[in-house]
Amino acid sequence: MLEATAHAPRLVPEPEDIQQGYELPLEERLVRGAPVRLFTFPEGTRDVSRTVVCLPGLGASGRSFAPMAPLAPHLRLLLWTPTLRTPLTHSPLQWNVEALEHPSAQLPKRFSLVGSSFGSLVALAFSLAHPERVRSLVLVSPVASVHRVRRWALSLSTLVRMPKPFAYVFAPTVARVLGGRRLPPEGRAEIVREARRLSPMELLRRLRDVLEADYLGALERLRVPTLVIHGARDHLVPLSYARDVASRIPGGRLEVLREASHLPYMSHTEAFNAFVGDFLLQHLS
């Protein structure tokens, strides 16, 4: 195995290196016996009635939602990071749904949810199981059934877990594909760094949840105000699938960002924040 020389450039930061714009206060909560990281905005509102829990995608941390900072004065954003090692007694999906409901999560009686990719699967499952807890729901690049997810892209995402130095060559490419050509370098580095903190076993268990998911038939039972937001250049989840998801949800609304890929909140921040902020604020009353 080749070792990097002292003069070789690092393609991604070390785990302790946080990119500019992603430095956020961290609170660690013990939820159902496992640590959950919660990132917050120091200048954000403390109004509990405006709580929005943001659930990240596969291998990402809640810090990936840092570009939503302009919404923090109006919304109490809690950037949830699932435990890095889900107890073997539960699937990662099941554990996160039960964790959001558990008193140790210290969440208010009602709150809104923003879920991206794998996080959208968690948000959807929670909203179907506990609609009385959810004020409004935003599904970003939704994953409700693997039948509509391009499997080659799922296989590509596993390259993030390859051993060094192989991973150092390919992981930035994977992040670039998922984030699109307009994903800033600091956003790409954030995704790669966090993904490498996840064990291969945990990643495979979360992928298994994605591969086994099929909530399409249940969407008509969803009684939560829902916004689906999607990038037209998403190489993982086709735009036609996002349209299908939105059409199956009573009153569901779809907004498309034409130049965005799978991570629109990181690559097309201004447009994403405008759509999501207006929608969430509309349903606070």
Tell me how far apart the 2 most distant CA atoms of the chain are, in Å.
59
Q: How many whole angstroms separate alpha carbon 126 and alpha carbon 143? A: 14
Count CB atoms within 10 A of the CB of residue 258: 10
Domains, the chain, ordered by start:
26-282 (3.40.50.1820)
- The answer to whether residues 182 and 214 touch, using CB atoms and an 8 Å cutoff, is no
**pLDDT averages per 10-residue partition of the chain, 285 residues:** 35 58 90 92 93 92 95 97 89 94 95 95 96 97 71 51 50 71 86 79 82 88 96 89 94 95 95 97 87
Whole-angstrom CA distances from 273 to 2, 127, 134 are 43, 22, 20
pLDDT of residue 11: 39
pLDDT of residue 9: 36
- The answer to whether residues 171 and 196 touch, using CB atoms and an 8 Å cutoff, is yes
pLDDT of residue 262: 92
pLDDT of residue 123: 97
Element containing residue 277 per DSSP (H, E): helix 269-282
pLDDT of residue 285: 67
Q: How many whole angstroms separate alpha carbon 189 and alpha carbon 172? A: 7
Tokens found for residue 99? 């964790």
> Partners of 28 in the beta sheet?
37
Q: Which residues contact 75 (CB under 8 A, 6 or more apart)?
A: 44, 45, 50, 52, 112, 277, 280, 281
Q: How many whole angstroms separate alpha carbon 182 and alpha carbon 275? A: 19
Residue 219 phi, psi (nearest 5): -65, -30
DSSP state of 19: P
SS (H, E, C) 80-116: EECCCCCCCCCCHHHHHHHHHHCHHHCCCCCEEEEEE
Q: CA dihedral defined by 186, 58, 142, 70, rounded to 10 degrees?
A: -40
Residue 41 phi, psi (nearest 5): -105, 120
pLDDT of residue 146: 61
Residue 271 phi, psi (nearest 5): -65, -40
Tokens found for residue 144? 């409700």
Q: Give Cα 143 to chain centroid, integer Å.
A: 11
